[in-house]
Amino acid sequence: MLPSVQHCLAHLEKQPDTAAISGKRLLHCCRVFLSELRQAILSGERAGELTRPLVLAELHHFVQDYHRPSLRRVINATGVIIHTNLGRSLLPPELGELLSTTASSYSNLELNLKTGKRGSRYNHVEALLCELTGAEAALVVNNNAAAVLLALETLAKGKEVVVSRGQLVEIGGSFRIPDVMARSGAKLVEVGATNRTHLADYQVAINPETALLLKVHCSNYRIIGFTGEVPLSELVELGRAHGLPVMEDLGSGCLVDLSRFGLIKEPTVQETIAAGADLATFSGDKLLGGPQAGILVGRKEIIRRIQKNPLNRALRIDKLTLATLEAVLRLYLNEEEAFARIPTLRMISEEADLVKDRGQRFVELAAGPLKDTCHVELCRMSSLVGGGALPAQDLVSWGVACKPVHIKAHQLERWLRQTTIPVLAKMEHDTLYLDMRTIAANEVELLLVSLQQALAQKTL
């Protein structure tokens, strides 16, 4: 009963939106569609209800979807600011031109313009990173997981690394400190208990095989109650006494003090360096608010050794990342500028009243268009920083509670993910919530368009 490929092609060539797609591509789409449908029929997943017009309508919808670019813009209404699944930090929109020029022009990526000789791509950000963090030297790689792997491989391959048992973090995906350690060829020596580790625990673990003392920031979890960690400065003292380097994986790596906005105090990179860490690693796209990158700062001798590791070549940073990272770091040269222009910092520090105004504007805008399909109401919410930063910190926020009239909220949630600009919302107690903290001022109208599209969706 399934139509032939020829029949499918003839149907698609008559539709205005698929007619422009090349014949070869349409043929490929038809084959994929028919093969998936055949599979679904054979497995009993699809039975009796199929008719020729229905199959052709499904084909048309399938091709529209299949031919769309896969990586697309979405609206983040979850209230999680650094959302790994949604691309973590947003770059300042004004970097668009820099990105496009760097991408489509030649650059002095690895050329010293003064001498005309070969230069290093790392030079473009090293001095800035040193100025901002107080470190002697710096290096940037693909991401922080790469930074940690590279550092351990360079400093401790075949040797022992001492870490507190309470700091063996899993970031999500597959990054776990014990696994990365194993891959680097270093041997993990866990000390202390889950909730408490003392200086003496590190002391007794040190032996001639020890190469490094490692501290890992408990990014995405907190141990509360009867707890204790050894402060970095004491670990540094111990390391010095035994001639061992001390490294801290900061995870988020913040360059500004967020406690002035009433947030829980996180150690800044500057403080980590000032406390004497020989090496610190952190992400470019978490609290820093830049592109995906891994940043290593620390003592010159250590950074140079890491830089020379052949593995570095496999983890190197690309020019577009480097260009945007430099631009974002330059914003930090003036802290007010950083807070005003780096979206991650702006969203974290935005006053709740301004978030509320945006919610109010949306409710007013939506009142007419949605009056028969969805109840919308301004409500208090709490946002999260995300990205494994400040897990215990709720940010007071405002959002919109949506109760659709004709469909269930979870259905609306699903359809919102399939609109032209998909919207990721928050579901709770059969109500759909849109947190306005992560929605930019210029997205309020777009949000309404997506909501209207989702509410008008017919079951397929």
Ligand X SMILES: *Cc1c(COP(=O)(O)O)cnc(C)c1O
Binding interface with ligand X (CB under 6 A):
143-145, 148, 169, 171, 175, 216-217, 219, 249, 251-252, 283, 294, 388
Question: Which H or E element spans position 14?
Answer: helix 5-14
Quote the least distance from Cβ 143 to ligand X, whole Å: 3
Nearer to ligand X, 215 or 358 (CB): 215
- Phi and psi at 41, nearest 5°, equal -70, -45
Quote the least distance from Cβ 292 to ligand X, whole Å: 7
Closest CA to 78 of 433, 397, 411: 433
User: Which residues, including other chains, have CB under 8 Å from residue 251's CB and lie 6 or more apart?
Assistant: 144, 169, 171, 216, 217, 219, 282, 283, 286, 388, 389
Quote the least distance from Cβ 238 to ligand X, whole Å: 21
Question: Can you read off the two tokens belonging to residue 1?
Answer: 């009963």
CA triplet 321, 323, 328: central angle to 5 degrees? 90
Nearer to ligand X, 269 or 436 (CB): 269
Q: Which CA distances in Å does 59 have to 41, 51, 151?
A: 15, 12, 51
Radius of gyration of the CA atoms of the chain, in A: 26
Nearer to ligand X, 245 or 294 (CB): 294
Nearer to ligand X, 145 or 269 (CB): 145
Quote the least distance from Cβ 455 to ligand X, whole Å: 36
Nearer to ligand X, 315 or 352 (CB): 315
Quote the least distance from Cβ 294 to ligand X, whole Å: 6
Quote the least distance from Cβ 297 to ligand X, whole Å: 15
Nearer to ligand X, 2 or 311 (CB): 311
Question: Can you read off the two tokens belonging to residue 188?
Answer: 């993990």
DSSP for 161-219, written as a single string: EEEEGGG--EEETTEEHHHHHHHHT-EEEEES-SSB--HHHHHHH--TTEEEEEEE--T
Nearer to ligand X, 144 or 431 (CB): 144
Quote the least distance from Cβ 173 to ligand X, whole Å: 8
Quote the least distance from Cβ 282 to ligand X, whole Å: 8
Quote the least distance from Cβ 415 to ligand X, whole Å: 31
Does residue 151 contact residue 295 with C-beta atoms inside 8 Å?
A: no
Determine the residue with CB nearest ligand X: 251
Q: What is d(CA 303, CA 83) in angstroms, rounded to the nearest whole number?
A: 30
User: Which residues, including other chains, have CB under 8 Å from residue 310's CB and lie 6 or more apart?
Assistant: none
Length of the chain: 460
For residue 440, the SS3 value is coil
Nearer to ligand X, 143 or 270 (CB): 143
Nearer to ligand X, 239 or 386 (CB): 386
